[in-house]
Structure 1
Amino acid sequence: MASNSEIAKQVIDAIGGEENIQSIAHCATRLRIMVHDHEKVDVEEVEKIEKVKGAFYNSGQYQVIFGTGTVNRIYEEVTKLGVEGSSKSEMKEEAAKQGNAFQRAIRTFGDVFVPIIPAIVATGLFMGLRGLILQEQILALFGLTPDSVPENFVLFTQVLTDTAFIFLPALIAWSTFRVFGGNPVLGIVLGLMLVSPALPNAWDVASGDAEPLKFFGFIPVVGYQSSVLPAFFMGIIGAKFEKRVRKYVPESLDLIVTPFLVLLVMIALGLLVIGPVFHQLEEYIFAGTKFLLELPFGLSGLIIGFFNQIIVITGVHHIFNFLEIQLLNNLGYNPFNPIITAAIAAQGGAALAVGVKTKSKQLKALSFPSAVSAFLGITEPAIFGVTLRYFRPFVMGLIGGGAGGFLASIIGLKATGMAITVLPGTLLYLNGQIFGYLLVNVVGIGVAFVLTYMFGFSDDMLNDSKNKE
C-alpha cells in the first residue's frame, strides 16, 4: 500500500508536475487544483492512483475525490512537497469567471449558505431530540406526562431550537458580506436590525396577532425573522456599497463615516424596498415548492428522488439549502430531506452492487468505501468514482432514488432539520418516524442494488472502458 506522501507525489506528476499547478485547496472530500495548462493533465492516470475515488473537471478546477479525512492528509503531503496551497476563498476568486451566469450565481449562493449550515444542522438535531424526549412513552419511563414537564425545561429546549431561525437574517447577512468582500460585522448588525424587537414580529403578523407598520401609508414594514432573501440581497448590495463608499472617504474618517453610511442607507433600503420585495418573492418560491411536494400519489417523491442526483452532478444543488430552510421556517418540518436521502442512499446501493459483483480487486477497493461514503451522506465518490463512470449503475441508482422518494412521500415523512442524510439523518426522525425513515433507505438501497446487480453492471464494462481509454 502506497503512503500518503507517495500518493501526493503521484497526483502532482499526473497533473503535469509542480510547475503546472497554479493553486491547490481542498474541501470535505476533494482536492481542488487550478492548473496552467489543461492539456498536461492525465485524468486517466489520476484515477488509477490508490485511494483516488474519481477525478473530473468542474468550475475551472480539477477535482480529485479522496473522501472525508483522507483528503486532508493528502493535501498536507502535497504542501510538504513544495506546492503552495491557497484558501478556498482565493481559489473561488480564481474560478469565479468559469461557467455561465446561472452556474456562477448558484455557486455564490452555495458559498454563502455552506458556512451557516452547521448551525441549522445542530438546530434540527435539537428539534429531533426534543421530539424524542417529550414523547409520552419516553416521559412515562420517568413517571412524567407532557403536562408535568417543567416550564423551565421547555423554555431551555426552545432556546436551542428557535435561536438560529429567529436570527437567521443575521447569519445570512454576515456570510454574504464576507463572500462579497464587505465587513462581516456590519452584515451581522444589519441582519440583527431586520429582526429588531422594535419591529412587529413576522410570525405574529402571519398569525394575525400583530399588524405591520405602514410607511408612507402603503409600504408594509415587519421584522424578518427566518427570512432568507431580504438578508441575502441586503448583504450583496451592502458589501458593494461599503467598498464604493470606502473609495471616496478619507482614511482618517473611514472608521466613522463608512459604517455610519452603510448602516443608515442599507437599513432604510432593507425595510422599505429590499425587504418587502424579496419577502414577497420568497412566498412565491415557497408556494411553488409546496405545490411540488404536495403532488398526489407520491409523484413528488418519485420526481425529486429520481432527478436529485442528476442535479448534484451539475453542481447547482446548493439551491436546495434555501428551499429546505424555507420549508423549516414556514412548516416547522422538512419533507424534502427524506426524499433526497433516498436518492443519496440509492447511489450507495448501486456502488455496493458493483463492488459485490466485480472480480476486479481495484474496483472493489473503490466501490465499497464509496458506498460507505454515500451511506454517510456524501455521494461524489460513488457517483464520479463508480456509478457514473459506467453509467448504467448510475441510472439504476436514479431508479432506486425514485422508488425510495415515492415511499417517503406516500408515508409522509417529515424531517426536523436539514443537511444530514442516510445514517446520520436518523437523528432528524427520532420523533416517532424512525422506522419509516429506515424503510425508505432500505427501499432506495435495495432497489438500486438489485437492479444494478442484475442489469446494471458486468465486468465486460471494465474491458469496454479500458478499450476506450
Structure 2
Amino acid sequence: MSKFTEPAKELLEHVGGSDNISVVTHCVTRMRFVLKDPKKADVEEIEKINLVKGTFTQAGQFQVIVGNDVSSFYNEFTKIAGVNDTSKDEAKEAAKQNMNPLQRLISHLADIFTPLIPALVVGGLILGFRNVIGEIEMLDGGTKTLVEVSQFWKGTNDFLWLIGEAIFHFLPVGITWAVARKMGATPILGIVLGITLVSPQLLNAYGVAEADAIPFWDFGFAQVDMIGYQAQVIPAILAGLLLSFLEINLRKVVPNAISMIVVPFFALVPTVLLAHIVLGPIGWEIGSWISDIVYSGLTSGFGWLFAAIFGFAYAPLVITGLHHMTNAIDLQLMSELGGTNLWPMIALSNIAQGSAVLAMIYINRRNEQEKQVSIPAAISCYLGVTEPAMFGINLKYGFPFLAAMIGSLVAAVVSVGSNVMANSIGVGGLPGILSIQAKHMPMFAIAMVVAIVIPFLLTLVFSKMNMGKVAFTRNRAK
C-alpha cells in the first residue's frame, strides 16, 4: 500500500464515489474532476485530507490542489476508483456540460489563445530584451544605447527581431491554426489561411495609413484591396471560424470518394476571398473600436477609476476564467497603438497576489506543512503563475486575497496615472518590467513596490482581525 492509498480513498468518498465521476484528469499540480452532481462533493472534508492543499471550481471542473505528487496520486486514485485515464481535451469537453453560455464562450476563447501563450511569452521576453539594449540610454553619460555603441548588440537586436516579427506580426497564422484545431477543422488549412492574411504580396497593415495608393486585385467587374492583417486578432478569428464552418459542413454532404479534393478547395478559397472582402475590414473596425474604447478609458480623466476597477477585479476574473479575454484586447492594443497599457496592470496583480502569500509565509513561519505550499506558490506567483497562490493560500484564508486585490488596485492607479505602456505581453510578475517601454520603467518599478508593500502590510493587519483562522493554522503546526 502506497502513501497515496488512504488519501485517494478519502478523496473518492468525498467527491461522491465513482458513480459521481464523469471524467477525471490532472495537470501539473491539480486533480481535475467533471462531476455528474457537483453538489455531492464535500469541500470541507476534502480540504481536511492531509495531501490536499485546496480546492476550487473553474470552467465546469472541480479541481483539487495536490502539488508536485499529483501524477503518482492520480495513478493511485484511478486504480482505486476504477475510472479510465482521460485526456485534458476530453475533460474540457465534458466540463462544458456544467457551463452556462457565457462560460462556454469564454472557454472557447481560452482554447484559442492558450496554445499561443508559450510563443507570446517568448515574444514578450525578446521584445523586452530588445527594449533594454535598444531603448535605454545607459552609456556615454546616458546619451547612447548598447545598440548604438556596439556592433555585436546591434546584430543581436536585428537578429532577435526575426523571432519577434514572426510571433507578433504573423500572429494571424497562429490564430487561424488554433481556431481550426479547436473547431475540428484541418489545422494545415488554418495555417494556409493565416498566411494569406499576412502574405508579403499584400500592403502591410502598418503601412496602410501612410500609403499613397492601395494595391488591388482587379476582377474586371470588381476590385479588392490587397491589404494585410499583420498582428490583427479579430479578422483572423472570424476567418478561422468561417473556414471551420465551411469545412465541417461540407464534410457532411460531400461523398467520401471526392472529399479529399472537394472539401479543402471549397472551404479555403471562398474563405480567403471573403476574409479580404468582408471579414477583414469588419474585423479591423471592430478591433479598432475595442482598442479605442479601452485606451480612451485608461487615458481619460476617469482613467484612474477604470484602473482601480480593473486592478481590484482582475484576480476575481481569473477565478471565473474571464481574464482570457484580456489576451485579445492586449494584442489588439499592440497592433493599433504599438503597445498596451492594460497588460502592466495584469503583471502588477500577479505581484500583489504573491506578496500576500509572502505575508502568509511570515505569519505561518512555524507551520512546516503550510510552507510546503506557500513558498513554491509565492515563487511561481512572482514569476507570473498565480493559481497555486490564489487557490492554495489566498482564497483559502480569504483576507490575503482581499489584501492583494487592494494592493493591485493602488498599483494599477499608479501605473495608469503615469501612462505606463508595455511593448507587448510578457512574463507576468516581477520579470514583467522587461516588457515595459524604457521611458516608463521607473514609474512601473514604483508601481511594483506598491504591489509588494501594500498587500504584505494589509495581510498582516487583516490577520490580526482574523485571529481565529490564524490560530487554527498555528495549532495545526503544533
Q: Is this a same-fold pair by TM over 0.5?
A: yes
Unaligned runs of 5+ in 1: none
Aligned length: 463
Answering whether residue 209 of structure 2 is matched by residue 190 of structure 1, we say no
Residue of structure 2 aligned with 1:263, choices 265, 268, 272: 268
What is the Cα deviation at residue 299 of structure 1? 4.0
- Alignment of 1:283 onto 2:291: no
- Structure 1 residues 195-274: aligned runs within 5 Å: 195-208=198-211, 210-211=213-214, 213=216, 220-274=225-279
* CA pair 70-379 structure 1, distance change in 2 beyond 3 A: farther
Deviations 1:292-325 (A, max 9, x none): 2213474443232112112222221100110111
Distance 1:145 1:105 in 2: 45
User: Residue 452 of structure 1 corresponds to which residue in structure 2?
Assistant: 459
Matched, 1:344 2:350: yes
Higher mean C-alpha deviation, range 77-86 or range 26-35: 77-86
SS in 2 for 1:33: strand
In the other structure, the counterpart of 2:112 is 112
| Closer/same/farther in 2, CA of residues 442 and 85 from structure 1, 3 Å limit | farther
SS at match of 1:199: coil
Check conservation: 1:345, 1:441, Cα contact below 8 A.
Answer: yes
Residues 101-110 or 129-138, more deviating: 129-138
| Gap runs ≥5 in structure 2 | 474-478
Kept after mapping to 1: 8 A contact 2:351/2:451: yes
Change (3 A) 1:229 1:219: same
Structure 2 contact 172–231 (Cα < 8 Å) conserved:
yes
C-alpha distance in 1, partners of 2:155/2:6?
57
CA distance in 2, matches of 1:176, 1:245: 17
Mapped to 2, the partners of 1:306 and 1:260 lie a distance apart of 49
Alignment TM-score, normalising by the size of structure 2: 0.86
- Aligned partner letter, 2:467: D
Task: Show the counterpart of 2:138.
Answer: 137
CA 332–237 in structure 1, closer or farther in 2 if over 3 Å, else same: same
**Do the aligned residues in 1 keep the contact of 2:147 with 2:157 (CA within 8 Å)?**
no
1:425: which partner in 2? 432
Query: Per the alignment, in what secondary structure is the counterpart of residue 63 of structure 2?
Result: strand
Equivalent AA in structure 2 for residue 428 of structure 1: S
Alpha-carbon distance change, 29 to 278 in structure 1, aligned in 2, over 3 angstroms: farther
Partner residue, 1:387: 394
Q: Could you tell me whether the CA contact under 8 Å between 2:122 and 2:426 is conserved in 1?
A: no
Q: 1:352: how far off?
A: 3.0
1:172–1:191 CA contact under 8 A, matched in 2: yes
Work out whether 1:20 is the aligned partner of 2:25.
Answer: no
Match runs of 1:26-41 below 5 Å: 26-41=26-41
State the one-letter code of the partner of 1:425.
G
Corresponding residue number in structure 1 for 2:414: 407
Query: Does 142-151 or 173-182 show the bigger shift?
Result: 142-151
**Structure 1's 199 and 432: CA in aligned 2 closer, same or farther, altered over 3 A?**
closer
Of 152-161 and 70-79, deviating more is 70-79
> Residue 393 and residue 373 in structure 1: after superposition, are their counterparts in 2 closer, same or farther (change >3 A)?
same
Aligned equivalents of 2:290 and 2:78: distance in 1?
Answer: 44
User: Do the aligned partners of 1:324 and 1:418 also contact (CA within 8 Å) in 2?
Assistant: yes
| Residue 45 (structure 1) aligns with | 45
Q: Distance in 2 between matches of 1:145 and 1:39?
A: 60
In structure 2, the residue corresponding to 1:253 is in which secondary structure? helix
Q: Deviations over 1:65-103 (max 9, x none)?
A: 345x55445445545655422222212221223322222
Counterparts of 1:208 and 1:107 in 2: how far apart (Å)? 39
SS at match of 1:207: coil
Computed over aligned residues only, the root mean square deviation of the Cα atoms, in angstroms, reads: 3.2
Name the CA distance, whole Å, in 1 between partners of 2:124 and 2:268. 32
Render the CA deviation track for 1:359-394: whole Å, top value 9, x for unaligned: 883555544443333223233333333333443332
Mapped partners of 1:407, 1:80: distance in 2: 52
Contact 1:30–1:63 (CA<8 Å) still a contact in 2? yes
In the TM superposition, 1:116-131 aligns within 5 A as: 116-131=116-131
Q: What is the rounded CA distance, in whole Å, between the counterparts of 2:397 and 2:49 in structure 1? A: 18
Shift of 1:426: 4.1
Cα drift, residue 401 of structure 1: 0.6
Partner Cα distance (2:74, 2:326) in 1: 29
Q: 1:344 to 1:146 in 2, by over 3 A?
A: same
1:283 corresponds to which letter in structure 2? Answer: S
CA distance in 1, matches of 2:444, 2:66: 29
Counterpart residue type for residue 184 of structure 2: G
Distance 1:405 1:4 in 2: 43
**Cα 1:366–1:45 shift into 2, 3 Å:** farther
Letter of the aligned partner of 2:448 in structure 1? N
Residue 404 of structure 1 and its aligned partner are, at CA, apart by: 1.3
Using a 3 Å threshold, how does the CA distance of structure 1 residues 351 and 386 change in structure 2: closer, same or farther? Answer: same
Instruction: Tell me the TM-score normalized by structure 1.
Output: 0.87
Secondary structure, in 3 states, of the residue corresponding to 1:236? helix
1:328 to 321, 324, 334: 334
Q: Distance in 1 between matches of 2:445 and 2:264?
A: 51
Distance 1:66 1:136, change over 3 A: same
Tell me the amino acid that sits aligned with residue 406 of structure 1. V
Question: Bigger shift: 158-167 or 186-195?
Answer: 158-167
Amino acid at match of 1:349: S
Q: Distance in 2 between matches of 1:376 and 1:77?
A: 31
Q: Secondary structure at the match of 2:176?
A: helix
Report Cα offsets for 1:307-353 as digits up to 9, x if no partner.
21122222211001101111222233232222122222222222333
CA distance in structure 2 between the aligned counterparts of 1:100 and 1:35, rounded to whole angstroms: 16
Name the residue aligned to 1:57: 57
Greater Cα shift, 212-221 or 54-63: 212-221
Structure 2 SS opposite 1:200: coil
Tell me how far apart the structure 2 counterparts of residues 175 and 121 of structure 1 sit (CA, whole Å): 17
Classify 1:290/1:220 alpha carbon distance in 2 versus 1 (closer, same or farther; 3 Å).
Answer: farther
CA distance in structure 1 between the partners assigned to 2:38 and 2:291 by the alignment: 42
Instruction: Give the aligned partner of residue 476 of structure 2.
Output: none
1:306 aligns with 2:309: no
